[in-house]
Structures are given as structure tokens and as C-alpha cells.
Amino acid sequence: MKTMPWKRVVVTTLVAGVLMQATMALVWGNPLTHRIILTPEFGQSQKLINVWTLWEPLPRITQQPSWPMIAGFFFYTLLHVLAYHWLAPLLPGKRWVGKGCSLALGIWLFQYCYFEFFTPFNQYHEPLYLIAYELLLQGIMAVVEGLAIARLYGLLAQD
């Protein structure tokens, strides 16, 4: 059994977590995405619009800064780093780019796709084309996080 290199895990988590959250802010926090996702103009369900903009209490992530959500995202990045620690030898790809993209695909499939199916599709009856747009944004987040984890974890192993 491998010994857990905690310094490498913590540094990778912090840096990859910041990069993922910055990416999330860019792709979700821009006016175009708000217009597409939070207005009826593109066929969005009124239920989803109400949850995000009208019905109290509003989602925690709408509070600025949203400390519980920031902490939760770092916790998920930590789980992704730990998964990478254990699974890196098994992930497809010979170098960090291939392994990082493989990790990103796993994050996207098992975290984001499940969420989109269970919540926007199931609970809010969101149109499939908006779910596809959201999955594209989440794919960008997953790729940034997966590549950051694979690159940093490998670089810090050389110290």
C-alpha cells in the first residue's frame, strides 16, 4: 500500500481547486450564460428560474462570497486528488495530459452528468439543449480540474 504524500495532496488540492473555481466563475458567471440559463428567452423552465432568482432561501452559491460552497468545492477537489492518487496508474494515457483528461472524463460522467440528469432534467424539466449547454460548461470545468490535478501531482512528485 502506498503512503499518502499529504503535502502533495494538499498543494494539488489548493491549486487545482482555485483553478476550477476560477473557471466556474468565468463560464457560469458571465452575462451570456445568465441570459441563456436564467431567463425564459431560451425555453428555460420557470421552476428553475424561480429557484435561482425568486424563491427564498436562494441557493447558497448566490451569496457572495459563498463560503459553504467554496469549502464544498475544495472538498470535492480533494476527493478528486485522492482518486487520482489511487487510480493514476490505471487511467488511460501515458503522460499527464492523457491521465488528466481521463480523470476529467470520470469527473464529468460521475459528478456532472448525474447531477444534470437528477436535478435539472428530473426536478426542473429543463430542456435537453440547455442541459447540453450546461454539460459543456461543466466539461470545461472538469478538464481544467483534471489536467491541473494530473500536472501538479506529477510535478510535485519530483520534489
Query: What is the per-residue DSSP string for 14-53?
Result: HHHHHHHHHHHHHHHSSHHHHHHHSSGGGT--HHHHHHHH
Question: Burial code of 22-58, b = ≥16 C-beta within 10 A, e = fewer?
Answer: ebbeebeeeeeeeebbeeeeeebbeebbeebeeeeee
List pLDDT tens digits, range 96-152. 999 999 999 999 999 999 999 999 999 999 999 999 999 999 999 999 999 999 999
* Per-residue pLDDT, 90: 96
Amino acid 139: pLDDT: 98
What's the pLDDT at 126? 97
pTM: 0.94
Q: Can you read off the three cell numbers belonging to residue 27?
A: 463560464
d(CA 54, CA 56): 6
For 43-89, what is each residue's pLDDT tens digit?
999 999 999 999 999 999 998 889 999 999 999 999 999 999 999 99
Q: How far apart are alpha carbons 29 and 100 in whole angstroms?
A: 25
Q: What percent of the chain has pLDDT over 70?
A: 98
Domain ranges of the chain: 6-157
- DSSP SS3 for 6: helix
pLDDT greater than 60 at residue 1: no
Rounded mean pLDDT, 28-56: 96
**Residue 32, pLDDT score:** 97
Average model confidence (pLDDT) for the chain?
Answer: 95
Q: Residue 4, Cα to own-chain centre: how many angstroms?
A: 24
Q: Is the pLDDT of residue 159 over 70?
A: no
